Chains A and B, each alone.
Chain A
């Protein structure tokens, strides 16, 4: 197929040669994911999550396009149209559960992909832009997922949309007008549902465009690797095809096994029972929670109360609510600055004995934030959320810059080949 070597029999084919001469698409593909793309030979299984995220995006787009054929974006019809998909459309329950759980698994793949980048320093020169595009993908995913969750028009859809869009009202001067614009009126109602539906269809293709840019930027310098040492020559690399095509395919098999287990045997595990109650503007659910992948952000948002120490320095300037909103968006946007916040010249945590610890503490901190986001803001959870939020920003703004200066990294290997004494995983 297209992944053959340029000199292969495939490229000798008359039709292929005719097309290739006019539009070199076959050599383009070969240089992207074929034998013409040299990849570091020591990439481990953590490097599978990029292709897994790509697979998840494709699953989401394909299942989403089919869902749109049956869905009705109107407040009086949306809930029942989703139930019609579940009950009357042939295979509708499967498509809908694929899309519902696909969102969760897309985020699982992307979060692991991001933490892999953080551990092995994949964001450092010359891959800063690659990393920034990745952060933009994460932001676009979050916007898409949020608007998608509103579409079934259940209780959590409605109240989630109400709570999150209301956040923008904290912005001085333009806040109220911005919220009115988001809603298309003065409450969350049919115009809101319609614009969210429109944007929920648009944004995945924006993500797709960003992903293409992400891969383009990746291919300029090639993949980072577990040693973080630059590729020194051909002895350090192997062709992407067949080595990493088969490795990615194997990873996809494992990923699909886990993903489809949830689809078929626990399809509502990640969901909220309340979203099977049609939206009711007069009945607020006792406990409004976002989907799990927003929980760390939600915890940061809610950490900002009048008593929170991080709020004090700005308390003369803004309300705690606005500070929380800025912190929540800032916690994601700040990720884009990590290439400059991390002052260490060594990429991989493998040769950074102290950073390695701080990395795992950061992972733990993020999980704690997720747990805090899942619980009502009362008792111990408030304090825990504020401590974890403080640590989150301390890690990015203090620990990363200082550690790069103070830490004494281990000696990095001469080259990838020199470090590899056994077949890379």
Chain B
């Protein structure tokens, strides 16, 4: 009698837990969103063995540098981090040296400008948050370091299911891509405040950021055609990396840990059966 009861109960509670977990998922969505569901993109970093496509993430850096960096900072990224996405030491040095930074005080007690080194952070487009807000109609453009983790469904997740959009596995990167490609003419009768642009994926549809990407807006050195969707894809890949630079190491270690634990747990189970075999 006992065995089936326990198993049924176990199954019941696990099912209930799964149902409740799924039901809790929409809490991560922005309540005010109500736009169409961002389309699920086939990111190379998804799944158990996901990695960032090096060519794409480097093109994405170029898009950030030539387009986004005019308004958006990337405060958590230092030039040396670029080595993670395939740049050589010399390339990182050269990329850093394109910008200057204030250093000091020197032995004379004076501040001075010098070229950036790999250990320096990426330059910020505005000297401070107030200046950023003043130059952008009162609201500072958000820092982009964590943007894919901080929007919509959050960062990369193997199991994140949005119950609001059944069947969809949307993550923050899908939302960013959708946003960058989601500009269109405002529908008739839509009241657009001055300085706003219509974006079908942005909560409330009025976004202060003018459409940032235009066809052939950048020239990729690898010959890839710079369409809006290509640039949006690449820069989102780059921003997914800046948000979760540990992703590749995490998944590599995770697979090993899972295999180890499976073997260990299997052996513990066998041992449990062996030890308990004399209990009646």
The interface of chain A, by Cβ under 8 A from chain B, is: 41-42, 44-46, 80, 83, 86-87, 93-94, 97, 108, 112, 115, 119, 226, 238, 242-243, 246-247, 249-250, 253-254, 256-257, 260-261, 263-269, 271-274, 276-277, 286-287, 289, 292, 295, 350, 360, 363-364, 367, 370-371, 374-376, 419-420, 422-425
Q: Which residues of A contact B158 (CB under 8 A)?
A: 265-266
- Judging by beta carbons under 8 Å apart, are B264 and A87 in contact? no
Tell me whether B152 is interfacial, beta carbon within 8 Å: yes
- Judging by beta carbons under 8 Å apart, are A286 and B272 in contact? no
Bound form: Cα–Cα A83–B121 in Å: 14
Bound form: Cα–Cα A276–B23 in Å: 22
Minimum CB–CB distance for A375 against chain B, Å: 8
Tell me whether B279 is interfacial, beta carbon within 8 Å: yes
Minimum CB–CB distance for B14 against chain A, Å: 10
Q: Interface on chain A toward B: helix, strand, loop, or mixed SS? A: helix
Bound form: Cα–Cα A44–B13 in Å: 15
* Binary flags per residue of B136-165, CB closer than 8 Å to A gives 1, else 0: 000000100110011111110111100000
For A87, give the chain B residue with the smallest CB separation. B245
* Binary flags per residue of B29-71, CB closer than 8 Å to A gives 1, else 0: 0111000000000000000100000000000000000000000
Tell me whether B99 is interfacial, beta carbon within 8 Å: no
Tell me whether B192 is interfacial, beta carbon within 8 Å: no
Q: Which of B87-95, B103-111, B215-223, B248-256 has 4 or more CB atoms under 8 Å from chain A?
A: B248-256
- Judging by beta carbons under 8 Å apart, are A253 and B20 in contact? no
13 A/B residue pairs, CB under 8 Å, sorted by A? A247-B272, A250-B269, A250-B272, A264-B251, A272-B27, A273-B149, A276-B146, A276-B150, A276-B155, A289-B27, A363-B13, A371-B23, A374-B24
Contact of B5 among A260, A350, A422 (CB under 8 A): A350
- Judging by beta carbons under 8 Å apart, are A295 and B257 in contact? no
Bound form: Cα–Cα A45–B155 in Å: 34
Minimum CB–CB distance for B8 against chain A, Å: 11
* A265-B157 contact in complex given A80-B76, A260-B254, A371-B23, C-beta closer than 8 Å: yes
- Judging by beta carbons under 8 Å apart, are A86 and B16 in contact? no
Q: Which residues of B contact A256 (CB under 8 A)?
A: 261, 265
Tell me whether B210 is interfacial, beta carbon within 8 Å: no
Minimum CB–CB distance for A186 against chain B, Å: 23
Bound form: Cα–Cα A83–B19 in Å: 32
Bound form: Cα–Cα A269–B156 in Å: 9
Q: Which residues of A contact B123 (CB under 8 A)?
A: none
- Judging by beta carbons under 8 Å apart, are A243 and B275 in contact? yes
Bound form: Cα–Cα A295–B20 in Å: 11
For A278, give the chain B residue with the smallest CB separation. B143
| Closest 8 pairs (CB-CB, A-B) | A264-B254, A253-B265, A287-B31, A276-B150, A273-B154, A266-B157, A93-B246, A265-B158
Bound form: Cα–Cα A93–B252 in Å: 14
- Judging by beta carbons under 8 Å apart, are B6 and A46 in contact? yes
- Judging by beta carbons under 8 Å apart, are B12 and A264 in contact? no
Q: Which residues of B contact A264 (CB under 8 A)?
A: 250-251, 253-255, 257-258
Minimum CB–CB distance for A229 against chain B, Å: 13
Bound form: Cα–Cα A276–B275 in Å: 48
Bound form: Cα–Cα A15–B169 in Å: 60
For A283, give the chain B residue with the smallest CB separation. B139
Minimum CB–CB distance for A96 against chain B, Å: 10
- Judging by beta carbons under 8 Å apart, are A83 and B146 in contact? yes
* A246-B275 contact in complex given A112-B13, A253-B265, A273-B172, C-beta closer than 8 Å: yes
Q: Which residues of B contact A286 (CB under 8 A)?
A: 30-32, 203
- Judging by beta carbons under 8 Å apart, are A253 and B261 in contact? yes
- Judging by beta carbons under 8 Å apart, are A93 and B150 in contact? no
Tell me whether B262 is interfacial, beta carbon within 8 Å: yes
Q: Which residues of A contact B276 (CB under 8 A)?
A: 243, 246-247, 423
Bound form: Cα–Cα A289–B257 in Å: 33
Bound form: Cα–Cα A370–B16 in Å: 12
Q: In the complex, which of the residues A226, A242, A264, A360 has the most CB atoms of chain B within 10 Å of its own CB atom?
A: A264
- Judging by beta carbons under 8 Å apart, are B261 and A260 in contact? yes
- Judging by beta carbons under 8 Å apart, are A367 and B19 in contact? yes
Q: Which residues of A contact B150 (CB under 8 A)?
A: 273-274, 276-277
Q: Which residues of B contact A243 (CB under 8 A)?
A: 275-276, 279
Tell me whether B209 is interfacial, beta carbon within 8 Å: no
- Judging by beta carbons under 8 Å apart, are A93 and B28 in contact? no
- Judging by beta carbons under 8 Å apart, are B151 and A273 in contact? yes
Minimum CB–CB distance for A277 against chain B, Å: 5
Tell me whether B271 is interfacial, beta carbon within 8 Å: yes
Bound form: Cα–Cα A261–B261 in Å: 10
Minimum CB–CB distance for B80 against chain A, Å: 10
- Judging by beta carbons under 8 Å apart, are B253 and A94 in contact? yes
Q: Which residues of B contact A41 (CB under 8 A)?
A: 279
Bound form: Cα–Cα A115–B250 in Å: 34
Bound form: Cα–Cα A250–B270 in Å: 9
- Judging by beta carbons under 8 Å apart, are A424 and B279 in contact? yes
Q: In the complex, which of the residues A273, A371, A375 has the most CB atoms of chain B within 10 Å of its own CB atom?
A: A273
Bound form: Cα–Cα A136–B24 in Å: 27
Given contacts A93-B249, A276-B154, A363-B16, could you give 15 more A-B pairs where the C-beta distance is less than 8 Å?
A83-B76, A226-B6, A243-B279, A253-B261, A257-B265, A263-B254, A265-B159, A271-B154, A273-B153, A277-B146, A286-B31, A286-B32, A364-B16, A376-B31, A420-B280
Minimum CB–CB distance for A56 against chain B, Å: 16
- Judging by beta carbons under 8 Å apart, are A253 and B268 in contact? yes
* Binary flags per residue of B230-266, CB closer than 8 Å to A gives 1, else 0: 0000000000000101100111011101100110110
